[in-house]
Chains A and B, each alone.
Chain A
């Protein structure tokens, strides 16, 4: 176990559904990330939260809406998705960079999303 958990592990949804992905980290980190992994493409960063503030939105469509209520939890709310959004969604956490080196990112197991 890496200390980062994600639920659900698998999700099938229609294009008109609303669903949410959840990520929780038990490592005492203060930065959290959402990544998307599509078939045969590199992992793509979607969002970064550092100290509970969104510091990066990597040109992600508005049908993906992140929420970070505290430093241990991160959500990705999904609404009116397209079939091409089907992918493995990975959450990660790290200690936000200050003046100290480190920042090793630890990943959860991912949510396999299928949009019909």
Chain B
């Protein structure tokens, strides 16, 4: 059974810092992995999708890496801004189904 852990659970930083959010998963037989952000009480916004054959994906100030064999993914946020404050969720999908398994997320606060 796939289990997903995200570290740290919460993070509070001043704006301008470069951040690293970690995700680990127990079953390396994944099809892809998505990173999402969720604002309080809202739905999920897809940030990046990494296929299992890829090592990283970039979108603007965001960069996600994937090391499938070790069961790890990392989300880098460059030059953080207060608007980045949200909960960030990592979700690998099973190789056999379209099922996403979510971690509990990292709650990020960026203060001015």
A43 lies within 8 A of B102 (CB) = yes
B91: chain A residues at CB < 8 Å are: 43
A42 lies within 8 A of B46 (CB) = no
A101: chain B residues at CB < 8 Å are: 31-32, 51, 53
Segment at the interface with B among A14-22, A63-71, A74-82, A106-114: A106-114
A112 lies within 8 A of B41 (CB) = yes
- For the complex, is A53 an interface residue (Cβ under 8 Å from B)? no
A105 lies within 8 A of B46 (CB) = yes
A107 lies within 8 A of B100 (CB) = no
We find that the number of chain B residues with CB closer than 8 angstroms to chain A is 26
We find that the number of chain A residues with CB closer than 8 angstroms to chain B is 31
Bound state CA distance, A96 and B21, in angstroms? 29
Give B97's nearest chain A residue, CB to CB. Answer: A56
- For the complex, is B93 an interface residue (Cβ under 8 Å from A)? yes
Q: Which residues of A contact B (CB under 8 A)?
A: 2, 4, 6, 31, 33, 40-45, 48, 50, 55-56, 88, 90, 92, 94, 96-97, 101, 103-110, 112
